[in-house]
Chains A and B, each alone.
Chain A
Amino acid sequence: MSNLVKFKIDGTECMAEKGSYIVDAALENGIYIPTLCNMPGVKPKGACRVCSVRINGRLMTSCTTPVSDGMEIESNSADILDLRKAIIELMFVSGNHFCPSCEKSGNCELQALGYRYKMMVPRFLYDFPVRKVDASSPKIIKDQNRCIQCKRCIKTIKDEQGRSLFAFHKRGHDLEVILDQDLGKKITEELADLAMKNCPVGSIIKKEKGFEQAIGRRMYDHQPIGIEDK
């Protein structure tokens, strides 16, 4: 019996393995749905909501919803595109994202999505929160101003004993992702590199390496985020 299921995204016939998540199934069929918190190989949590699609009239996160036979998915309608743009705008206004002096600029997924969705000026008021910069680790800096709480670092940056170096701290509006003070001091070079790489924004940066990649050679300098133009 075939493991493949048939479904439609914006009217386009697609096929994918049964049980695969919509965001991955779409990609297999050449359709890009944006994500920020999602990472291949890591169990999805639907934290950022940027991948929202509409199924049977309901908004669902495509990174946590498996495809099923006959499913009809709406991804590129005007209101969903605007919803994604609004989510991106909210991330910008709820932190302190100053791209001009951020070394992740050009490699930042949030910035790249801002460009993709043609965000000129956020429609929401800036929060200008007072956030801390934790520079206590000898190898990395955790800048809370830029954190979007995607949890990628919590899920992927672990020491040899499997202990996560990052964790949620506080709740609600005060929620933040912090670096364990002891583990942060012992972080290896490789793990520090990985932490910076896995952070979709400039919240985790490697010490003393800033701006070593010239403008014009960064990930999104010539190639926008997504797959359509590749």
Chain B
Amino acid sequence: MSKKITIEPVTRVEGHGKVTIHIDNQGNITQSRLHIVEFRGFERFVQGRPYWEAPVLVQRLCGICPVSHHLAAAKALDVIVGAGTGEGLTPTGEKMRRLMHYGQFFQSHALHFFHLSSPDLLFGIDSDPATRNIIGVALTYPELAVQGVMMRKFGQEIIRATAGKKIHGTGAIPGGINKNLSIEERDEFLLGADPLNADKMVDWAEGALDFFKNYYASNKSFVDGFASFPSNHLSLVRKDGALDLYHGVLRAVDTEGNKILHDVDYQEYVNYIEEEVRTWSYMKFPYLKDIGKENGWYRVGPLARLNTVDFIPTPLAQREFEIYKALTNGKPNNHCLHTHYARLIETLHAAEMIRELLNDPDLLGNELVTKGIKHKEGVGVIEAPRGTLFHHYRINDNDQIEMANLIVSTTHNNEPMNRSVNYVAKAVMTGKEVITEGMMNAVEVAIRAYDPCLSCATHALGKMPLEITLVNEFDEIIDRKRS
């Protein structure tokens, strides 16, 4: 008898989603989809508000990486107030924002690796779900759990010092920033008692990377083979090809590493990217216009970034980047679970960047804001922890927002996540009479690798967990499991 399996809610991801898997009479997977069932509408209700409210208002999309929305909106408004397109700010303005951003990267990546993903790696994806969670990690690997918590805390404290609050601050304003860093704040981060100082964070980031590399050494075939499929990759890169999470040009490469988007100015993104709407999901499907809907989809996020960039501009992360790139002979890496590897290299890079920035006297400067000739429209793009984030605003003559368009990281990954779900479902469920919790978690592990933020992606309403439903050919529910 054919079946339809629904995984709802998907757990250990941000937001609310479900997976449906259709199985025919012979036990073959005929269709599998990740449905995003939230709807929010930020793009609509920001209309009519004064433009300078956008960075503070729109960041409420998310409690995990609000800094990304805060900064992407601020970058778009920099254009509107005539402060340039990411390069016109004062040194203090730009570096304070960068410090905020790297602090966020550090805390968000630590959260994802230690809290959300490490249970799958430490206990196995088909282990008892009662222990396969952060509480299980804390009980069994207390040192690792403490590291995760403290790394997150350090990143959050950086955000507090730059944005005013750990979550939903107000630091970035159109044309700059509203505070500099005090000497006391700087010294606290550089010289603070262990473990809350920049040196320790670099050490721990290296330790987390070593942990994953050891795991990889003993589980190579699983990590390499799990939901591995070719795709295009897109991200911002610095003009010289370096990894730059705050500003750059748009680059995309195909599965062989050939450039298919040639370092273009993101102010013109509408010429290169289009979004497709499908009836069964609130999340759109972006693709590269030139290549078309069928083959123009791409991945964003840590895996994609390390595929598009030429090098990482900090020494320890660059060394790890070279080891990582050698695994695929310099070609793009399409192994889904290598996203964790890439994420940890970025975590190390973020720690190094934080340390480098803290030693920069520009952070203590008093020139905070710059403005020039006003424009009616602006685009801000930033690399959020989960991938490339676009904010686009247009204002009217009275300084009110009349149009907003947000393309969020998880939205770019919509097609890849669906393909990953399909791949894993086929691999673990084909021909199986009974669907176990472990099989369902395998599907979730594939989704989790993208660290999706479904709330952001739909700019959305509601909560997030994953449910799998088993349905026969008449769409009658045979079985349903919630995780």
A residues adjacent to B (C-beta < 8 A): 100-101, 103, 133, 135-136, 141, 205, 207-217
Contacts and interface: CB of A to CB of B under 8 A. Distances in A.
Interface in B65-96: 81
Given A100-B56, A141-B50, A213 B399 contact: no
Contacts of A141: 50, 399
B117 to A, nearest CB: 30
B398 interface: yes
A215 B170 contact: yes
B170 to A, nearest CB: 4
B136 to A, nearest CB: 34
Contacts of B165: 215
B178 A212 contact: yes
Q: Say whether chain B's binding surface is mostly helix, strand, loop, or mixed.
A: loop
A211 B163 CA distance: 11
Interface string B154-197: 00000000011100111101100011000000000000000000
B60 interface: yes
B212 interface: no
Contacts, number: 59
Contacts of A133: 48-50, 400
Given A212-B173, A214-B179, A100 B168 contact: yes
B400 A211 contact: no
Given A100-B168, A101-B56, A133-B49, 16 more contacts: A101-B53, A103-B52, A133-B48, A135-B398, A135-B400, A141-B50, A208-B81, A210-B50, A210-B53, A210-B56, A211-B56, A211-B178, A214-B171, A214-B178, A214-B179, A215-B170
A211 B52 contact: yes
Nearest to B396: A135
Contact of B178 (A101, A136, A213): A213
- 9 pairs of A and B residues whose beta carbons are closest in the complex: A215-B164, A210-B52, A135-B398, A101-B57, A214-B179, A211-B170, A214-B178, A101-B56, A211-B173
A209 B173 CA distance: 9
Nearest to A98: B57
A136 B396 CA distance: 11
Interface residues of B, number: 25
A149 to B, nearest CB: 21
Contacts of B174: 208
A210 B58 CA distance: 15
A214 B164 contact: yes
B381 to A, nearest CB: 22
A205 B369 CA distance: 19
A208 B50 CA distance: 8
A101 B57 CA distance: 5
Q: Say whether chain A's binding surface is mostly helix, strand, loop, or mixed.
A: loop
A136 B53 contact: no
Contacts of B55: 211
Nearest to B168: A100
B94 to A, nearest CB: 17
Contacts of B170: 211, 214-215
A87 to B, nearest CB: 28
Contacts of A214: 164, 170-171, 178-179
A208 B52 contact: yes
Given A211-B170, A211-B173, A214-B164, A103 B399 contact: no
Contacts of A100: 56-57, 60, 168
A203 to B, nearest CB: 13
A141 B60 CA distance: 23
A204 to B, nearest CB: 12
Interface string B293-334: 000000000000000000000000000000000000000000
26 contacts: A100-B168, A101-B57, A103-B56, A133-B400, A135-B398, A136-B398, A141-B399, A205-B50, A207-B50, A207-B399, A208-B52, A208-B81, A208-B174, A208-B399, A210-B52, A210-B53, A211-B52, A211-B55, A211-B170, A211-B178, A212-B369, A213-B178, A214-B164, A214-B178, A215-B164, A217-B179
A141 B401 CA distance: 13
A144 B48 CA distance: 13
Contacts of A211: 52, 55-56, 170, 173, 178
B53 A103 contact: yes
A176 B169 CA distance: 32
A50 to B, nearest CB: 27
